[in-house]
Structure 1
Amino acid sequence: MENFNDNSNYEKQRHGCVTAWLVFIIIANSLMALLYLLGGGMITENLPGVATSILVILGLLGVGNVIFAVLLLQWKKIGFWGFLGTSIVVLFINISIGLGIGQSLFGLVGVAILYGILQIKQNDVTAWENLE
C-alpha cells in the first residue's frame, strides 16, 4: 500500500464526522474553560471543598484542550497526546478532590472516543494515519 504521508501530491482529507467532533471539542472546552475561570464562585458554592486554584488549573487545562483540538485540525498528532496528558492530570485532580475512582476514570472515555473517531476513514485513509 502506498504511504500517503510521503506523497507530496496527496491532499489530506478527513471525514466530516471527524471535523464535526473536533469543532464540538473546541466549543465544549471553550465553554468549560470560561465556566472554570469566570464562574468559579458558582462552582465553589455547590462544591465548597474545591479550591479556587483547582478551578484555575481546570480552566487552563480546558484552554489547553482547545489548543490541542486546533492542532488536530492542523494534522498534528501532538494534539492527541496533549488530550491524553490533560485527561491524566484531570484524573488525578478528580481523585484529589474526592471524586470516586469510577467517576474520575470516566474522563478517559473522552480520549478513547477521540481515538475512535480519528479511525474513521476518508478515501480509505484514517485521520489518524494522516496525522504528522
Structure 2
Amino acid sequence: MKFFNTLDIIYFFVMSLLLVYDFFPNFPFADSVPTNVLIPLILVLMVLSILLKQYNDKSKKDLLKAQIFWTIYLLLLIVILTVLGGQSKTGIALDNGVLWIAVLISLVGPLSRWRKLKNSEE
C-alpha cells in the first residue's frame, strides 16, 4: 500500500509482537526480543515519524486510509489471537467495553473526515 512507509511497517511489526506477547506470554520466541526493548522502540519510531514529518508528503485521503487500516488491523489481530486461545494479560478482550469504545472513536473521526473529503471533491 502506498500510504505506508518503512517506519509504518516497523511500527506494525513491533505492535504485532507486543500483542502476541501479551496474549501468549510463553510464546517460544518471547525472550528473543524483550518487551522492555519493544516499548522504547515504539516511542523512538513515533518521535522519528514526527521529526521526519513523514505525513507531510501524504494526501489526506492516504492518511485516512492508513488510520482506518491500522484500527481494523489491530482489531483483527486481537480477534485472531483470541480465537487461537490467547488471553490478554493487560485486559484487552473482545468483551471489554472500553475496547469497543476505543475502536468506535478511532473509526468515527476518520470516517467522518473521509465523507467530508469526498463531498468536497464532488
The interval holding the TM-score normalised by the smaller chain is 0.3 to 0.5
| Larger gyration radius, structure 1 or structure 2 | 1
Give the TM-score normalised by the residue count of structure 1: 0.33
Give the TM-score normalised by the residue count of structure 2: 0.35
Higher relative contact order (CA 8 A, sep 6+): 2
